[in-house]
Amino acid sequence: MKIVMMGSGGVGGYFGARLAAAGADVHFVARGAHLEAMRTQGLTIEGGPAPLHLSRVQATSDPSSIGVADFVLIAVKLWDTADAIEQVRPIVGPNTAVISFQNGVLKDRYLLEAFGPKRVMGGVGYVATTIDRPGVIKQTGPMQRLLFGELDGTISDRGQRLLDACLKGGIAAQLSPDIRREIWQKYVFLVGLSGTTTTIRKPIGPIREHPQTRAFLLDVMREEATEDIYALAGINADDRALGSPLNSVRRRLPWLLLSLGAALIAVAIVQYYVATIESSIWLAVLIPVVATMGSNAATQTMTVVVRGIGLGEVGWETTRRVVTKEALVGLINGVIIGVIVCLTVAVWFGVRLGSMWFGLKLGGILGVTMVLSLVVAGTLGTVVPVLLKRFKVDPALASSMFVVTFTDVITFFFYLGIATLLLSQFKV
């Protein structure tokens, strides 16, 4: 199993050394004096509970000379990510797993855009280390831990292989079924840590020991987590439950007015088919079912896609694949819901009106509408957020209005349009 450490500083150098000491085929990518020292003197880990010296390591400044790797572990600073991606492209094959152990929540988005979801796993690293001098990594505390896993939450064979190698090297590693949660937890912790230590100007130890500063640390982390949740919901962090009413009105009213304008389009569609509705009042009775199912399906898809955009899973390059998947989900759900609705309406209205044949025809119209509506909902729930993101509009803030309204408009058009074609069947 060939493992490439892209970045051999405090994180890459430490964990790479542990893996190499256990017999893994580890290749270090480094530069400058640190690289030269590794080539001539090997790599040393000082401090911590288990010091280590490797007299010989495989180190280079050119990843392309290594060949295709099984694992590429990214451990460069976040601002060097773009350069690191370009450097490792030649060694990323069809079955290579690329894992970033950098800080932050945007790191995997860059990897997904570069290599696609099949080659990317998520990762989190915890270790207190630094380059003490060329060829020497100094561990300043006992903590060391690696968490990694598939972004979709599955437990894979490749993840298990990497876990076995880490455990063999004495690394406190864990294969996580929810690596995205682990990434966000570390992000919130780091924001609280950096904000608190900078403000109080003390290391984290004394801050945690004092009740007042410990409470301040927790408050900072809670505030950061709250801001992230507000951002995902498309609400400004200043718009709080106990905040200023005028501030909330100012932030929400423009979107509500735009939503009102879009809703009037749906009204126009219904008005256009008023003659059809007048021909049978039972068409109007069933309109809430039409609107509710389409809107709910659209909201489900939109929520998944907006979350995917925020986490870097969904982008312009993956839109076609996501649209196909969500449209298929809509088709399957639509057929199931359509059959249930058709039979329910057929029995309900057939018994009530004394005509099972009429009830079946009415149920058929509604059932076909459900199928078409849920396919449209899946498509719009994917395309609209991606387009908004493409045009630099926050999809979390604006998607709901556009997706739900256009789904309603198209669904009404299908429902009343089909009914109009069969107008003679509804003279009851």
| pTM greater than the 0.75 cutoff | no
Phi, psi of 128 (to 5 degrees): -100, 90
Range of lowest pLDDT (174-178, 341-345, 397-401)? 397-401
Q: Domain residue spans in the chain?
A: 2-177, 194-233, 250-426
Quote the CA–CA distance of 323 and 305 in Å, as a whole number.
10
**What pLDDT does residue 189 have?**
76
pLDDT digits (tens, 9 = 90+) for 114-153: 999 899 999 999 998 999 999 999 998 888 999 999 998 9
Same fold, 2-177 and 250-426: no
User: Is the pLDDT score of 234 beyond 60?
Assistant: no
The CATH homologous superfamily to which domain 2-177 belongs is NAD(P)-binding Rossmann-like Domain (3.40.50.720)
**What pLDDT does residue 241 have?**
57
pLDDT digits (tens, 9 = 90+) for 331-347: 999 999 989 988 988 88
Q: For the chain, give the mean pLDDT.
A: 86
pLDDT digits (tens, 9 = 90+) for 62-108: 999 999 999 999 999 988 999 999 999 999 999 999 999 998 888 89
Q: What's the pLDDT band for 233 if we cut at 50, 70, 90?
A: very low
**What pLDDT does residue 237 have?**
52
- Look at domain 250-426 and name its CATH class: mainly alpha
